[in-house]
Amino acid sequence: MTVQEKYRSLTDAAAAAGVTNLQVRDQDGVLYVDGTAPNGAVKDQLWKIYDSIDPNYLSGDLVLDVKVSVDASVTKVKVTTEKSNLNIRKGPGTDQPIVGKAAHGEIITLISQASEQWWLVRTDDGEEGYAYAQYLTPEA
Query: Where among 37, 68, 99 does a domain terminate?
Result: 68
CATH number where 18 lies = 3.30.460.10
Query: Which of 11-20, 61-70, 120-129 shows the lowest per-residue confidence on average (mean pLDDT)?
Result: 61-70
Contacts of 1 (CB under 8 A, 6+ apart): none
- Residue range 82-93: average pLDDT? 91
Residues 59 and 82 in one domain: no
Is the pLDDT at 140 greater than 70, yes or no? no
- Is 60's pLDDT higher than 90? no
- How many domains does one find in the chain? 2
Mean per-residue pLDDT, 53-63: 85
- Domain extent for 54: 3-68
**Residue 134 sits in the same domain as residue 86:** yes
Please, which pLDDT band fits residue 73 given cuts at 50, 70 and 90? low
Q: What is the 3-state secondary structure (H, E, C) of the chain?
A: CCHHHHCHHHHHHHHHCCCEEEEEEEECCEEEEEEEECCHHHHHHHHHHHHHHCHHHCCCCEEEEEEECCCCCCEEEEECCCCCCEEEECCCCCCCCEEEEECCCCEEEEEECCCCCEEEEECCCCCEEEEEHHHEEECC
User: Quick one: average pLDDT of 46-60?
Assistant: 87
Residue of 108, 134, 137 whose CA lies nearest to 121: 108
